Chains A and B, each alone.
Chain A
Amino acid sequence: METLSYRHKAQERAAGSKSLAIIGVVASGNLEVLVERLLPDTECQVDINTAAEGFGAVWEAVVADFVERRSPGGLKLSINDGGARPDTVALRLAQAVRLIEEEDR
């Protein structure tokens, strides 16, 4: 197991009013993302628990692109990773933001 954590400035607050959302499953080649609206509007944090060690540089690149492309201000994302490929990680992160963007009802 390896634990990684990245904190970034975000351009904009994530839309919507839901306080949390979860997507994906912890399985081989897959991952689970829990997203919570816990941080100031200009901050974004991504915490990663991964089964595959030694991929820090790739995670850093995936997370940096995610923050730039999706502006997830105010969100803390927690990842349980079962050794997913970077493209799967990027997709799940995008999906997590889309889920929390929905209005709470």
Chain B
Amino acid sequence: MKSWNAQKTTLAERLADGRRYASGKTIEVVDLPNFLEAVIRPADRVCLEGDNQKQADVLAAALADVDPAKIHDLHMVQSGVVLPEHLDVFEKGIARRLDYSYSGPQAARVARLLFGGKIELGAVHTYLELFARYFVDLTPNVALIAAVCADRDGNLYTGPNTEDTPTVVEATTFKSGIVVAQVAEIVDRLPRVDIPGDQVHFVVEAKKPFYVEPLFTRDPAAITEAQVLTAMLAIKGLYAPYGIRRLNHGIGFSTAAIELLLPTYGEKLGLKGSVCTHWALNPHPALIPAIESGWVEQIHSFGSEVGMDDYIRARSDIYFTGPDGSLRSNRAFCQVAGLYACDMFIGSTLQIDLQGNSSTVTTSRIAGFGGAPNMGSDARGRRHPSAPWLQAGKEADPDGPPPLRRGRKLVVQIGETFGDKNVPLFVEKLDALTLAEKLNLELAPLMIYADDVTHIVTEEGIANLLLCRDKDEREQAIRGVAGYTDVGRGRDGKMVRRLRERGVICRPEDLGIDPLDADRSLLAARSIKDLVRWSGGLYAPPSKFRNW
């Protein structure tokens, strides 16, 4: 007879096996490998919580320590491949298949293991896409997650870095999977409950905080004059004319420069209150001067940032905070906010081709996507109007009937024509395509598709791709802001001049930007120490950013 509750039966067996190592819900760190061998089965789908920032590092080390004769062929479904242990499980034969989103620090090793056949790649996703699949066809059997502390009943406090945890737990626990949490300590009373205890089966007291990567701290001291110029172009040529109030910024230096120019250059242009008021954004330290100057109304965050806790706590009108006062972040909700409720995404990339496709993949590094392709895409399901969205839609389709015309999200790629180590930003062929050929991928790993990109900003000017009417115009608009890269020097001078007359290309001088203003003295903060001062001493930068 068919059983309709086999998953619940299996869960009960696994829980019974696991309880042999538990006292209540608590597991000791030394028992972890044996415990994991008891609750995990070969070929399970496992989410080893590796978020953009926080890492279940103790559980990761324990999983890499299990006996591959007992536990093998696991299918890892996790957003971040960040720690060495995340890949050790593949090298040791514990895991075989991988579906993920982002692999910043491990990008080179992911590429090597893929080429070496140690990893069977499902797909590289955006965060939201992977989360969606957790509820459809990539539901974890086991989730190994991280929190700050737990009580005896398994209630969890995640602290400011809630990130992916509620999503992972929801998908696992309500589909009869097992949830194991690593916490720094077990306490009698939690500051607040982020995950209810009846959704958590076991808790490991790691006796140390989980690892967090400070990903969003950009030292203002490293911002160049070209980045200041590019930031002025973006503010005067995009933020002001479209009236961008709701937006998301990438994490590069170009957008950090914009954040630092709001209280100076933005103020001079009289833009306060009419741009940059509502954000889907991590707590970027570079935004402190704009917040302190009264530019920002509110910010929802994907995760937190190291050193920002006290500042956030003292600015609860700006950030989302719990009854305990600390930040409540949530990656899934913030990604949805970035997709549906923001009028602009602006971020940097490594390569842009002649049609405007962009990618951060090179043949030796497969960094994945994170959230950018979601932020950096037009939401086809959007139905609410806003001035910038309608304006962009009109520019793309000037003759369409207004009541039936879709608006467009502004998706802006910003960067210097020559990036790190003088590598050109613009290329004839993306490395992502070469990689797709080499690995026989059905899809090249593109960060942002050309048909989603609306503007490209470099120190040479702004290319408005919404105003391009054919492929040639698009190519010349891109070449026209590609400066002295090979792509830039290959431009058709006559056509670029015509595009400039039509406002498709906008140079600094067309916007009345004085090149003498392109100076670091225009930055509201020129060092990390300046940011600390702006915060009234509330921002506590991690030691690697302190040089005093």
Question: In the complex the two chains form, what is the Cα distance from A95 to B226 in whole Å?
Answer: 12
What band does the interface of chain B fall in when counting residues whose beta carbon is under 8 Å from A? 20 to 34
Chain B residues, Cβ within 8 Å of A85: 226, 418, 422
Q: Are A91 and B459 in contact (CB under 8 A)?
A: yes
Count of interface residues, chain A, beta-carbon cutoff 8 Å: 16
Contact segment of B369-377, B382-390, B469-477, B507-515: B507-515
Q: Are A91 and B484 in contact (CB under 8 A)?
A: no
Our pick among A57, A61, A87 for the contact of B459 (Cβ within 8 Å) is: A87
Our pick among B225, B229, B507 for the contact of A69 (Cβ within 8 Å) is: B507
Q: Are A87 and B484 in contact (CB under 8 A)?
A: yes
Shortest Cβ distance from residue B177 to the other chain A in the assembled complex, whole angstroms: 52
Q: Are A87 and B509 in contact (CB under 8 A)?
A: no
Of the listed residues B225, B459, B515, the one surrounded by the most CB atoms of chain A closer than 10 A to its CB is B515
A15 in contact (CB, < 8 A): no
| CB-CB nearest in chain B for A65 | B484
Our pick among A61, A86, A94, A95 for the contact of B418 (Cβ within 8 Å) is: A86
Of the listed residues A58, A61, A91, the one surrounded by the most CB atoms of chain B closer than 10 A to its CB is A91
A99 in contact (CB, < 8 A): yes
Consensus secondary structure, chain A interface? helix
Q: Are A98 and B515 in contact (CB under 8 A)?
A: yes
A17 in contact (CB, < 8 A): no
Of the listed residues A58, A87, A98, the one surrounded by the most CB atoms of chain B closer than 10 A to its CB is A87
Known: A61-B489, A69-B509. A86 touches B484 (CB 8 A): yes
A20 in contact (CB, < 8 A): no
A62 in contact (CB, < 8 A): yes
Question: In the complex the two chains form, what is the Cα distance from A69 to B515 in whole Å?
Answer: 13
Q: Are B484 and A99 in contact (CB under 8 A)?
A: no
B205 in contact (CB, < 8 A): no
What per-residue 1/0 map shows which CB atoms of B488-514 lie under 8 Å from chain A? Answer: 010000000000000000011100001
Question: In the complex the two chains form, what is the Cα distance from A99 to B518 in whole Å?
Answer: 13
- Can you report 27 A-B residue pairs in the complex whose CB atoms are below 8 A from each other? A57-B489, A58-B484, A58-B489, A69-B507, A70-B509, A86-B417, A86-B484, A87-B226, A87-B416, A87-B417, A87-B418, A87-B458, A87-B459, A87-B460, A87-B484, A88-B225, A88-B226, A90-B459, A90-B483, A91-B225, A91-B226, A91-B229, A91-B515, A95-B516, A95-B518, A98-B515, A99-B516
Q: Residues of A with Cβ closer than 8 Å to B?
A: 57-58, 61-62, 69-70, 85-88, 90-91, 94-95, 98-99
